[in-house]
Amino acid sequence: MSNLTNKRIVLGVCGSIAAYKSADLVRRLKEMGAEVRVVMTQSAGEFITALTLQTLSHNPVHQYLLDCDSESNMSHIELARWADIVLIAPCSANFMSKLAQGMADDLLSTVCLATRAPIVYVPAMNNVMWENKATRENVITLQKRGFVRFGPASGDQACGETGLGRMLEPVQISNQLIELFQPGLLQDKNIMITAGPTQEDIDPVRFISNRSSGKMGFAIAQAAREAGANVTLVCGPVKLTTPQGVNRLDVRTADEMKSVVMENINTTDIFISAAAVADYRPETVATKKIKKAASKLDLKLIRNPDILSLVTNEPVPPFTVGFAAETDNVRENALAKLNSKSLDMIAANEVGKEQGGFDSNENALSIYWQNGEQQLPMANKNTIARQLMTIITEKFREKSSANNALI
Ligand code: C5P
């Protein structure tokens, strides 16, 4: 395999027991054709030797910032300019904190500050450290600044605990890196994504809504942007930061979402409907707050427009992907929806379980299209979104070339 041919990767290795996996990662990146230069922090040296990483990368390992020999060999600025990407694996809680602070007190943090290349960090830490408020805030800061995160995974940890914080396996890291280097596949394509819940007014202060957080739709918007597309994100009320470079259009009700979607549908190549659109809305909206006078209140609801079906009923519909949140019979219900709504693809997940679903940062999806399906096992929503975009891109390109062949 040589999907990383000639890619120049600065691999930052921090102090973590997961550093032993960095050796295998270097080997894999080399096998895929990448050129690798390793930068170790001082504490990384407590876990793995420079000689191991030097032997596997076929390049000198960089360790010191203020060192005449190192600077004359390849200065920190040259290293920062050399990189097509900076990959930090494992990235410790301490190093995440340094990145968030913009510190430059060792070689790796200085390279990160001095580079224009994208920076990917792959966290590895104890699950309590991962869940700590300080780490959570660092994750948000890094996301806002455009850092890309791979993982972490959940499972048994070297400290004897179980939970989120395990570093991804080298094979998962190299696969995600390949996906990241694939932009261009959707260059100049227009993708519209709906996300979040809708709110359906009962009176001036009350509404009907649902538990959708919008996280999955936002992660898809980011993944679509990374793949080079022009992305429009039509979202209901959510508390999320807009991914960089994404055009966000805020709506509140299903009716508003329908209007914005239909206004933009003619220029859309791919439509991904990740929003949890309310199926019903109150028939009338009271102009004044309803008083709690009566012991019983009947609320008459009427059907909202099915936006997804309106899109697929267009004379020339875009490549259309729907979502199905199901509590049972996931496969059957998803396939029924794929057909009844004339979709190109449907992404189904089981909701109402402990892990994954609405407000979670993780999700697992089952993807179905005509004559095919693929399972995406439980992972961070950003990871799932990139995997989903890879499948969508492949199927969209297949359909486009089949259509072109017919012309
Ligand atoms: O039929 P069901 O609501 O389960 O279908 C879910 C899919 O349809 C999702 O992709 C959702 O975004 C979309 N949908 C819609 N408009 C509605 C209801 C659902 O676009 N009114």
pLDDT tens per residue across span 232-247: 999 999 999 898 789 9
Please provide the DSSP assignment of 128-168 as one string. Answer: HHHHSHHHHHHHHHHHHTT-EE---EEEE-TTS-EEEEEPP
Query: Does 208 lie in the same domain as 169?
Result: no
Residue 406 has pLDDT above 80, yes or no: no
CATH (domain of 134): 3.40.50.1950
pLDDT tens per residue across span 322-341: 999 888 899 999 999 999 99
Q: In angstroms, what is the span from residue 275 Cα to ligand 1's centroid?
A: 7
What is the value of pTM for the model shown? 0.64
Query: Does 225 lie in the same domain as 124?
Result: no
Query: Does 257 lie in the same domain as 345?
Result: yes
- The total of structural domains in the chain comes to 2
Domain containing residue 384: 190-406
CATH (domain of 348): 3.40.50.10300
Query: Does 209 lie in the same domain as 82?
Result: no
15 CB under 6 A from ligand 1? no
- Rounded to whole angstroms, the Cα distance separating 351 from 334 reads 13
pLDDT tens per residue across span 77-100: 999 999 989 999 999 999 999 999
Residue 307 has pLDDT above 80, yes or no: yes
In-domain check, residue 200: yes
- Protein residue with its CA nearest to atom 2 in ligand 1: 324
Q: Assess contact for 251 and 236: CB atoms under 8 A.
A: yes
In-domain check, residue 145: yes
Q: Assess contact for 309 and 291: CB atoms under 8 A.
A: no
**Residue predicted with more confidence, 404 or 251:** 251
Query: Does 74 lie in the same domain as 41?
Result: yes
Domain limit, last residue, from 181, 201, 224 = 181
Q: Could you tell me how far CA 305 lies from the centroid of its own chain? A: 29
- Rounded to whole angstroms, the Cα distance separating 153 from 171 reads 13
13 CB under 6 A from ligand 1? no
Query: Does 208 lie in the same domain as 153?
Result: no
User: Does residue 159 have an active-site annotation?
Assistant: yes
Query: Does 175 lie in the same domain as 82?
Result: yes
Q: In angstroms, what is the span from residue 320 Cα to ligand 1's centroid?
A: 12
Neighbouring CB atoms inside 10 A of 401's CB total: 10
